[in-house]
Every structure is written in C-alpha cells, then in structure tokens.
Amino acid sequence: MSTSGLASVTVLAVILLIMATAMLMHYRHHMKPKKMEARVRVDVPRRRYPYKSFLMLSGTILAGTMAVSMPTDVQANAGWSATTVFKVSSQAADTASAASTAEEILAAPNHPDFLKLRNYLTRQLVDSEKFDQFPSPVLVDLSKHRDKETIKYLVTQRPGIMSVIYYSQQQGHQLMLVYWPELSGEQVIFTPLSGFVRNNPSTPLTSAH
C-alpha cells in the first residue's frame, strides 16, 4: 500500500472511531428509562426505529470517505494534508539512515565510501571559480548528489575530517589555506582560514588533499 493510501486509511479510521464513540453516547442517553406518568396517555406511542443509528453511522462513514478522497488542492485549502505527515516521517528515516552509514564508514579511516565522498567535495571545491581567492568562501551544491544526507551528517558532526588544506602563493609567501566546511541547507560552505607558513617562494606548492 502506498503512503497516500495508508494515510487515507489512518485518517478514516480516526474519523470513524470518533463518530462511533459519539453515536454510542447518543444511543445510551436515549435508552435511559423514563419515569412513568400518572395519567394515561390516549395518543399512540411513538415508534422506535432500531436502524436509525445504523443509518446515521452509514452517513458518517460516507462523509469520512468523501473527506479522505478529497483532492490534494482542496485538502491544502482546508489546512491539512495526510501526505505531509508521511513525508516528514520519510525525511526522518532518511536522516537516520544517513547517520548510520556515516558512522559506519568513519569506523575505518581509509573506508572507500568515505574517501569517495571526501574526494567529491574536494573536487567540487577546487573546480570552483572562487577557489584560491582568499577570503572568498566557496559553495558546493549537494541537491543532486545521491548521498547528500550522508555528506550533510559528516559535515555537521565531523567537519574537521572534511576540511581541505591547500597551499597558495600570495605576495611572495606561501599561504596555507584551510577550507573549513559548514552546512547551509543543501549547500556546503567552505570558508578559507589562512596562515603564512614559509617565505621561500621557490618551494613547490602542495595541491589540495
């Protein structure tokens, strides 16, 4: 069963439970014994229809079914959507799965999956037009990456191991840039932190690693 179908069944069940409880209270109230009057009534007593409650319950079921079958745009105008609840639950499950995967690959420093994700971020950083332009930050978009939730977890929980160190030549000095990652929505923001390390401009530069 799809999530939308499951949501419809859940909402319908809640509606029916509430309505059935109300009908039971209504039925018990009208079935209480009444005090006998002293005088004799000459009019014909009113007939009780035992199927009246059934008809009312059937109408409730029909109304509940119509509400659940309501188009999505109408549900939105009414201020609720059953699909939204399951969408939030699905996102929570994806986040938990990503966290589990991230912790698993962090157990081994040279885990192939970890190296692949880290190399992906490094490659996106180096290929950016703003790379090596201190102090400009570099933005890496994760929206289309299939393992974006795992990358988000790694950047949030372990930013140090996801940082990138780069040596740049600036004004006759060798400048060490540490690109520190921070998560912002679907993007990783690499902010360069600098420090002069050597005064010998002839020393070969080290590429990002």
Rounded to the nearest integer, the mean pLDDT of the chain is 68
CA distance 95 to 3: 18
Residue 2: pLDDT above 90? no
Element (H, E) at 83: helix 82-106
CB 149 within 8 A of CB 97: yes
Q: Tell me how far apart the alpha carbons of residues 208 and 3 are, in angstroms, rounded to a whole number.
A: 45
Helix 82-106 vs helix 148-157: angle between axes, to the nearest 10 degrees?
60
Confidence of residue 113 (pLDDT cuts 50, 70, 90): confident
In percent, the amount of the chain with pLDDT more than 90 equals: 22
Give the per-residue pLDDT at 46: 44
Specify the range with the lowest mean pLDDT, choosing from 47-56, 59-68, 92-101: 47-56
Question: Where residue 93 falls among pLDDT bands split at 50, 70, 90?
Answer: low
Q: In this prediction, what percent of the chain has a pLDDT beyond 70? A: 41
Tell me the pLDDT tens digit for each residue of 16-51.
667 666 666 655 555 555 444 444 344 444 444 444
> Which has the higher per-residue pLDDT, 146 or 105?
146
Element (H, E) at 189: strand 187-198
pLDDT in tens, 126-137: 999 999 888 899
Q: Between these two residues, 7 and 104, which has the higher pLDDT value? A: 104
